[in-house]
Structure 1
Amino acid sequence: MQGIIVKGIGGFYYVKINDKIYECKARGRFRHRDLSPLVGDNVLIDLDKDKGFIKEILTRTSELIRPAIANVTQAFIVFAVRQPDFNMDLLNKFLILCEINKLKVVICFNKIDLATDANLEETVSLVKSIGYEIIYLNAKAEKGIEEIKSHLEGNVTVFCGPSGVGKSTILNSILGHSAMETGAISERLKRGKHTTRHCELIEIDGGYVADSPGFSSLDIGFIKKESLQLCFPEFNKYYDECKFSTCMHYKEPACAVKKAVEAGEINNNRYNFYVKTLEEILNRREWK
């Protein structure tokens, strides 16, 4: 029988087949293949009464590491304008992970009621220059929730972003009840507490939504230098104009991307982040 893993806790996986959910364990052979089932996996299971065993994991279309979830098609990257303060470098890392997994991206700005007009305008203009869709939210007042719901049909959607920005509050508003435990911001550190305890897929409005633990650091060190530029969609239209087909948009002469940065067509902060990340990748290779 084929189903989808909608939750995983303590070595047990809950597989949805039609309208029924089966508690399953993974076969031991997955450990030998260094492969673990993930929430979102499409799997084949064997049943013994109402208990099941996962015998095969079908091919994944995408795989996120943190949050650990497979076959996501869409990501809502949630940031607060304040409390915690907006961090562009952190957003860039989330965007790189979404692009490397070929996910549709929607950027959500929550807690807009806490922002000054100048603060919000500066943050939004920076993000708009990249070209992603933006949704403005006041999740506690349920403002912007209907716009999010209009994007869910036919997708497996993940809410990602740092802790304390309101991901669980947004999901609670979508469902109309408290689906996940929510918490407050740490006053001492001004950083979010890890308020969500596990990753789970929830079926709603013709799609699946995942909620997952919040976190404030991301590892993008696995990305190859040749792949990094593909994670910056604003570079795309300039590739054919570079002098060299292998241009990395770094130190090469006659680079169309660098010219676009100088002309203000590509955001300078984004390009600087690209260069910084590329140098980190190159330096790691030199030390190996």
Structure 2
Amino acid sequence: MNFMKEEFIKKMSFSDEVKKRFIRLSRGQRKVAQLVIENPHVVATHIASEVGKIIGVSESTVIRFCYAMDLSGYSELQERIRKDLSETEKVATKEPIYAGKKHEYLFSEVMNGDVASILNTIQYVDADSFQKATLYLHKANDIYVLGFRQCAPTASYLTSILENLGKKVTQIKFNVEDILKQMNKMDKDSLLFVIAYDSVLEDVLTIAKIAKNKNVKLIAITNSTISPLRDYAEINFVVGAQKQFAFEGNTAANSITHALIEGMMILNRNDYRKCLKCDTLLHYDFNLLEKQSAATK
């Protein structure tokens, strides 16, 4: 492991640790985890029994959550959360990097933020899920890509590369008519690839539910380990870092998408390379025709 990655992991917040273990927790413990992630001040200022009443679980469930997180008990949980909150307040008092019109090191701070986002994403990638996703992409007869608003750039990036590799792929447009049209075409041999961050989840959950009822395979990229899209997706990749705007997760989303494409190509590299070569030649022929046409005018 390189030095940069080691340093980043050392700085992982307790909230990040909870997200990483979220899927292993029981249903009741997940309620405690969600409160820790979304409203840490409540846990930091209330005793275990009160926290249990707030979220509708027993005090013993709250304590079992602590043990599941390798803590000695509720007091240590509060200590970890208070430490996180203290660090957050320190960060909040710093001057934002975009505050001034001129910033000598703006490019390095932004790009280091992108690196941190990608490193954080790596932690949540399960190797078996990654391999399964590449196989789905390789075998799918029809691939549908869904990504609205700030997720659209990654959706377009994925669609473009898959098309260049000879895959039959459709990017679903953000209008009711196209959504219904594409949903009607999907079947058990189709693959729906969804890129959806928290702010657009309401737009895609219904689509994901319909796809699941039609036995469509579903791969998702979200920016939260507790995204409700997890209930419908067979494979879910979590991207980005804490305290990022949703669109800032696109760098990490593009990176995991690139990795998936590379994994898919390994399964039949010769054929995929032939498709890329044909695509390049086709563009060359079109450019040549345009130049000849322009010369005759």
Q: TM-score, normalised by structure 1?
A: 0.29
Q: Pick the structure with greater CA Rg.
A: 2
TM-score (norm. length: structure 2): 0.28
More helix by share: 2
